[in-house]
Amino acid sequence: MPYASNDGVRIHYQMEGDGPPLVLQHGFSDSLESWYELGYVDALKQGHKLILVDARGHGASDKPHDTAAYGKDLQVGDIVAVLRELSISSADYFGYSMGGRIGFAMAQYAPERIRSLILGGAAGDGRSRIGDGFRAGLKKGGAEGIPALWGFPLPPSLRARLITNDIAALDACRADTLGFADVLPTMSMPCLLYAGDADPTCSVAEATAAEMPNVTFFRLPGLGHAEGFLRSELVLPRVLEFLSSLN
């Protein structure tokens, strides 16, 4: 397995396809494997060099149990470490939920590394509206209870992965930040924001887009938070259209 190191924390990544580099960053409790299983990789690798990253605390990356190890600057440093390992100066970035919040942090801490941003199920206020209930559910049911916390029927392979999560690492991976209000007006790179309109994040994500100078926002009718990622057949046409506009 290929790894990059960020101050001693090993970050697992995988690569697929050829073309302009595109980082894919998953959401909380997930791993890079879902990008494969939901069809994102097959659709996106035709025109891009995909760089799929397991966030720290997740997948095959290292899993610190210290909350201090999950600062947004450190999560950004993980992406930068992977890009540096691959000698890539900048890339497009696609993140969902926690991955979307890391995308906002990329604009704060390493904007020179980002050509464009695609951010789903995330808002610029830094708050995880899903996180509080998720964390309470973890304490009550442990890893075995994670699939139910997604709130939507899941593929068997995803369910099987979720229950292998390191609960102490997930508990340390605090979701909330102070937010990105000062960063939003500076985000001059092309951005695509979206959320399901039944996602608690949706209205705040739309308000976030109103503060950004170079952004398109769209809603996914009737979809909740997990569905906004799982229903890739509804997301990918808009993502591919956006990426094609960059070339």
Task: For the chain, 247 residues long, give each residue's pLDDT as a single digit of tens.
Answer: 899 999 999 999 999 999 999 999 999 999 999 999 999 999 999 999 999 999 999 999 999 999 999 999 999 999 999 999 999 999 999 999 999 999 999 999 999 999 999 999 999 987 776 666 677 777 777 889 899 989 889 999 999 999 999 999 999 987 666 689 999 999 999 999 999 999 999 999 999 999 999 999 999 999 999 999 999 999 999 999 999 999 7
Radius of gyration of the chain, Cα coordinates, nearest whole angstrom: 16
Cβ proximity of 119 and 104 under 8 Å:
yes
d(CA 116, CA 23): 10
In the chain, where the domains are located: 3-244
For residue 96, which of 162, 154, 160, 40 has the smallest C-alpha distance? 40
Is domain 3-244 in CATH 3.40.50.1820, yes or no?
Answer: yes
Which residue bears the tokens 């951010």? 119
Exposure of 219 by Cβ count < 10 A (0-12 exposed, 13-18 middle, 19+ buried)? middle
Evaluate if pTM is beyond 0.75. Answer: yes
SS3 88: coil
89-100 per-residue burial string, b: 16 or more CB within 10 A, e: under 16: ebbbbbbbbbbb
